[in-house]
A and B are shown apart, each in its own frame.
Chain A
Amino acid sequence: MIEPLSLYFRLIGARVRSQMQYKFSFIADFIAACVGMIMEFVGVLVLFTHMPALGGWTLAQMAFLYGTTELAFSLANILIEGFDQFPEVIRRGEFDKFLIRPRNTFFQILSSEFAPRRIGRATQAIFVLGAGLWWLHVSWGPEKWLFLVWTLLGGMVFYAGLFVIHGTFSFWTIEALETMNIFTYGGTTMASYPMNIFSEWMRNIFIFIIPLAFVNYFPALYLLDKPDPFGLPGFMPFLAFPLCSLVLMIGMIFWRVGVRHYQSTGN
């Protein structure tokens, strides 16, 4: 367990050092992501100049929803960059070199990339989440703070799983990959709004088939003491982490299937 971990940090350390050679580039990307992505929330602010609450959620509560999903998403994005870049590896026919190295391929792809340039997106998420918690005047005991961390980890694992699935699909198709954006980018956009504003069929897909509602919606109901409008059992928030991990596990299994299916393009 220790050996792969130290290897992981050495490889990632090398990636970070190499990317830090381009300092201005890093700063430019940081500002671009930080200021650019927060525009999404500025849009929500504009909407709130015309109404007191959205689907029963105040602006502060909306900031909480937005901050949690965006933070989980961007952290996953930073860690899982290798799978995000993976279609390019396949397209160039470079996957063969991973197959002949003495480590499992999942580990290799995971440690092949790291994206500090995406830190900007995480920063704006932390900012909005912080503002939300500030406005909400939360007075939580330690168990709720722990639950918040637990929730963020769950969300990160959930999105990481989706990115792995996204990358794995490139064993079969490169062209149609964009459809997966519905679940990744579409997922985090949807999760920044309360689930009850969506129509029933859409909601049911994202509660029961893809457990997106467990990334932040159900946990937020518990953390912010809001009643569940769907009348689902009270233990729903506590299913969040197990269900989110399940998504990553499915992703890893799918990856194995993909690798077995792989046929080199040759050169």
Chain B
Amino acid sequence: MVYLALFQKSFQRMIAYRGATIAGVLTNFFFGLLRAYVFIAVYQASGRAYIGGYSLRDAVTYTALTQALIASINLWSWWEVLRLIRSGDITTDLTKPYHFFSSWLARDLGRAMFQLIFRGAPILIFFPLFFELTWPGSLLHWAFALLSILLAIMISFTWRFFVNLAAFWFVDAMGIGRFAYLTMTFMSGFTVPVAYFPDWLKFAVNLTPMPSMVNTPIEVYLGIVRGTDLWVALGVQIFWFVLMTLLCEFLYRRGVQKLIIQGG
């Protein structure tokens, strides 16, 4: 199947960037340590054992996990579709016998899978050299955590794809995109867990797909959402993935309809 092949190729392509992978792990790891010390100081200063349902150990695990997931969830930069639209190279894709959105999803999952293994796992493996972490208690718990991470990656893809489509309508889509990515960093619960937010802000961000991209998989992993809440959390993730996919498909079709490429 063509999508499986795209997935594989995209995974394999990443293998070529060995140096970049190691450099990325080191950088993410350093930021993880830095942020962990900030949380330790926060718990000391607050004098509380739990903040927003997180123990100190959970909060430190949160820093490790967010840093481990940066590469695969790809929070900050993804411009591939934007570049295709801007350069006009998208015409070659239009002639190819595959579904545009799905083809990019397959490629993105291949990339994400590589980065989950080679940029995510090392951080979780080496973090315990510095701090004690919380681990899922059972195999089933691990399975739910991984499922939630997979959904998070897929939702983040639909979001990035959506932002990239702006290039159909705006010449300066990159500025819009940068803005979208930076606000997402905060609203997804990457900077600080959503549970720490004041109630009104928590309410507001929970109306968006953002927390489903970072906050949800982490709370599933930590066991902060469990029982019925767990099913609700996964259901919300699936809801956002479906809704965003439909939105992307709709906008993509509209974009292609008005697309004019100067031939040559």
Contact = CB atoms under 8 A, between A and B. Distances in A.
Interface of A: 22, 24-25, 27-29, 31-33, 35-37, 39-40, 42-43, 46-47, 49-55, 173, 175-179, 181-182, 186, 189-190, 193, 197-199, 202
Nearest to A178: B23
Interface stretch (B95-103, B108-116, B139-147, B178-186): B178-186
A169 B72 CA distance: 27
A28 B179 contact: yes
A25 B31 CA distance: 31
A178 B24 contact: yes
Contacts of A54: 38, 41-42, 45
29 contacts: A24-B175, A28-B178, A29-B174, A32-B182, A35-B179, A35-B182, A36-B182, A36-B183, A39-B182, A46-B191, A46-B192, A46-B196, A47-B42, A47-B192, A50-B51, A51-B47, A53-B45, A54-B41, A54-B42, A55-B45, A175-B20, A176-B20, A178-B23, A179-B23, A179-B26, A182-B30, A186-B27, A193-B41, A197-B41
Contacts of B172: 22, 24-25, 28
Interface string B141-184: 00000000000000000000000000000011011101101110
A236 B139 CA distance: 53
Contacts of A52: 45
A198 B176 CA distance: 36
Smallest CB-CB A-B distances: 8 pairs: A36-B182, A28-B175, A175-B19, A32-B179, A43-B191, A197-B41, A39-B186, A51-B45
A209 to B, nearest CB: 14
B48 interface: yes
A197 B183 contact: no
A31 B24 CA distance: 28
B259 interface: no
B37 interface: yes
A179 B181 CA distance: 22
Nearest to B38: A193
Nearest to B21: A175
B257 to A, nearest CB: 24
Contacts of B186: 39, 42-43
B46 interface: yes
Interface in B45-82: 45-48, 51
Interface residues of B, number: 41
A28 B176 contact: yes
A181 B25 CA distance: 12
Contacts of A51: 42, 45-47
Contact of B38 (A31, A35, A197): A197
A39 B23 contact: no
A158 to B, nearest CB: 18
Contacts of A173: 19
A184 B27 CA distance: 11
Contacts of B182: 32-33, 35-37, 39
B101 to A, nearest CB: 26
B198 interface: yes
Contacts of B51: 50
A47 B191 CA distance: 10
Contacts of B203: none
Nearest to B186: A39
* Most B C-beta atoms less than 10 A away, residue of A29, A40, A186, A197: A197
B23 A197 contact: no
A199 B121 CA distance: 24
Given A32-B178, A37-B182, A175 B23 contact: yes
A143 to B, nearest CB: 32
A175 B178 CA distance: 23
Contacts of B196: 46-47, 49-50
Nearest to B29: A182
Contacts of B34: 186, 189-190, 198, 202
Contacts of B42: 47, 50-51, 54
B183 A29 contact: no
